[in-house]
């Protein structure tokens, strides 16, 4: 159960959730104002646009990283959202073309349509009901199967799951069951999006596509897990968009990087793909720093290992397709094993921290 703590962060300022929501709304509006002012400035004068744009992005990223390390809410589950949500929205806003930043209504509309499915065919309300049923089924698995059958002896103290050596069979079983439980808990997202889909009659994206059936690291991360974040990373890092951000024409063009522009590994597709995983690791580390108040780099190691696994897969099996049923079954078993062996790196920081107990308020505005 020993682990390496590189640094323990001091306690944060703890306030009620509502004031923190208002604070982040102000911060997101600040993002909008800074980006709009910058876009309009470079349209009027000749500036080193790329350099100045990068400096602005670094500025926005800096205060979005610092804020959740200083101020948190009393609700620990909400603190996960308060850390990751604003960063996601800031990143999304920073890469919008100028015509979507013409006014606050344009900007809000762009943010609100980020979760829409590009395929609006079929019966969206029926699909929404199916999404709600899927979410309820996932949550029911926790209370009817996972908790009573596999976690009954440790539910009162999950730290017991870390008492065994890393690759001890009991430890691997807990890794597997806790990983499945974490996925089933995300059934809440299915229910929320499904209800919204039934009410609005608009089809929302499916965040997950049966990840338990993944046949490889690339299949899991590129096609089955958290498609919203995957799509954003894909467009902003892996396949950068050459957006017409500096005028108001309603168009964007996506152009691959010209071979002559490539300068080594980190400019290649494999390099940019590995950067995506490293950035995801940094984001998850930030969540842990904000909530658990300790730096262990376990999540960063987890995502980097999986990034390397995807890199090896794409380099070795780029042109191979699995059509044989038995081969596909073995591939699924192999990846299932790989995920189980590495899952402790992801799960351990969250298991060690008690997320259910509310934090004591240390500062109040009244």
Measured CA to CA, the distance from residue 265 to residue 283 in angstroms comes to 23
pLDDT confidence tier of residue 49, bands split at 50, 70 and 90: low
pLDDT confidence tier of residue 316, bands split at 50, 70 and 90: confident
364 inside domain: no
Question: 3-class secondary structure for 79-135?
Answer: HHHHHHHHHHHHHHHHCCCHHHHCCHHHHHHHHHCCCECCCCCCCHHHHHHHHHHHH
Last residue within a domain, chosen from 204, 237, 270: 204
The verdict on 59 and 174 lying in the same domain is: no
User: Which structural domain, as residue segments, surrounds residue 123?
Assistant: 116-204
Last residue within a domain, chosen from 154, 183, 204: 204
Measured CA to CA, the distance from residue 356 to residue 366 in angstroms comes to 26
Strand (E) or helix (H) holding 13? strand 13-15
pLDDT > 70 fraction of the chain, expressed in percent and rounded? 87
The verdict on 156 and 265 lying in the same domain is: no
357 inside domain: no
Last residue within a domain, chosen from 186, 204, 222: 204
pLDDT in tens, 173-216: 999 999 999 999 999 999 999 999 999 999 999 999 999 999 99
Q: List Cβ neighbours of 180 (8 Å cut-off, separation of 6 or more).
A: 141, 146, 212
**Residue 250 pLDDT > 70:** no
Q: Pairing between strand 71-73 and 13-15?
A: parallel
296 inside domain: yes
Out of 52-56, 103-107, 319-323, give the one with best mean pLDDT. 103-107
pLDDT confidence tier of residue 51, bands split at 50, 70 and 90: low
**Residue 247 pLDDT > 50:** no
User: What does the pLDDT average to over 1-5?
Assistant: 65
359 inside domain: no
Measured CA to CA, the distance from residue 15 to residue 51 in angstroms comes to 37
Closest residue by Cα to residue 279 from 313, 238, 338: 238
Q: With beta carbons less than 8 A apart as the criterion, state whether 175 and 347 touch.
A: yes
User: What does the pLDDT average to over 42-57?
Assistant: 63
The verdict on 120 and 218 lying in the same domain is: no
149 inside domain: yes
At residue 252, the pLDDT reads 43
361 inside domain: no
The verdict on 12 and 156 lying in the same domain is: no
The verdict on 336 and 276 lying in the same domain is: yes
User: What does the pLDDT average to over 160-180?
Assistant: 91
User: What does the pLDDT average to over 329-339?
Assistant: 93
**Residue 1 pLDDT > 80:** no
1 inside domain: no
The verdict on 127 and 83 lying in the same domain is: no
Q: 234-260 burial, b if ≥16 CB within 10 A, otherwise e?
A: bbbbbeeeebebeeeeeebeeeeeeee
The verdict on 320 and 339 lying in the same domain is: yes
At residue 248, the pLDDT reads 43
The verdict on 101 and 143 lying in the same domain is: no
The verdict on 104 and 126 lying in the same domain is: no
Beta bridge partners of 72: 14
Number of domains in the chain: 2
2 inside domain: no
Structure tokens at 216: 């490889």
Measured CA to CA, the distance from residue 94 to residue 349 in angstroms comes to 31
At residue 266, the pLDDT reads 78
The verdict on 197 and 211 lying in the same domain is: no
Mean pLDDT of the chain: 86
The verdict on 152 and 14 lying in the same domain is: no
The verdict on 215 and 313 lying in the same domain is: yes
Q: What share of the chain is helix, strand, coil (3-state, %, to 5)?
A: 65, 5, 30
pLDDT confidence tier of residue 251, bands split at 50, 70 and 90: very low
Q: With beta carbons less than 8 A apart as the criterion, state whether 123 and 175 touch.
A: no
pLDDT in tens, 91-130: 988 888 888 887 888 888 888 787 888 887 888 999 999 9
Q: With beta carbons less than 8 A apart as the criterion, state whether 190 and 132 touch.
A: yes
């Amino acid at each position: 159960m020993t682990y390496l703590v590189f640094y323990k962060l001091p306690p944060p300022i703890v306030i009620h959730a509502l004031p923190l929501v208002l604070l982040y709304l102000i911060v997101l509006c600040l993002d909008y104002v800074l980006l709009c002012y910058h876009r309009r400035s470079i349209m009027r004068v000749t500036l080193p646009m790329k350099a100045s744009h990068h400096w602005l992005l670094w500025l926005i990223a800096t205060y979005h990283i610092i804020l959740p390390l200083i101020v948190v809410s009393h609700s620990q589950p909400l603190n996960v959202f308060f850390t990751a949500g604003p960063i996601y929205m800031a990143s999304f806003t920073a890469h919008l073309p100028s015509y979507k930043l013409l006014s606050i209504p344009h900007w809000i509309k762009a943010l609100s349509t980020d979760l829409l499915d590009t395929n609006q065919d079929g019966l969206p309300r029926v699909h929404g009901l199916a999404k709600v049923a899927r979410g309820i089924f996932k949550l029911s698995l926790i209370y009817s199967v996972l908790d009573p059958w596999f976690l009954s002896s440790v539910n009162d103290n999950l730290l017991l799951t870390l008492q065994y050596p890393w690759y001890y069979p009991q430890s691997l079983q807990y890794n597997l069951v806790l990983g499945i439980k974490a996925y089933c808990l995300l059934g809440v997202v299915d229910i929320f999006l499904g209800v919204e889909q039934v009410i609005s009659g608009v089809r929302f994206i499916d965040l997950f596509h049966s990840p338990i059936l993944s046949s490889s690291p690339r299949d899991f991360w590129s096609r089955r897990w958290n498609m919203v974040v995957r799509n954003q990373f894909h467009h902003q890092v892996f396949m950068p968009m050459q957006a017409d951000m500096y005028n108001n024409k309603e168009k964007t063009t996506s152009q691959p990087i010209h071979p002559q522009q490539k300068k080594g590994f980190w400019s290649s597709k494999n390099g940019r793909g590995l950067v995506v995983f490293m950035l995801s690791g940094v984001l998850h580390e930030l969540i842990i720093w904000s909530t658990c108040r300790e730096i262990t780099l376990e999540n960063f190691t987890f995502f980097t290992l999986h990034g390397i696994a995807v890199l090896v897969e794409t380099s070795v099996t780029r042109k191979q397709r699995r059509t044989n049923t038995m081969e596909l079954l073995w591939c699924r078993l192999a990846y299932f094993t790989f995920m189980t062996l590495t899952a402790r790196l992801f799960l351990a920081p969250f298991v060690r921290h008690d997320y259910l107990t509310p934090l004591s308020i240390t500062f109040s505005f009244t």
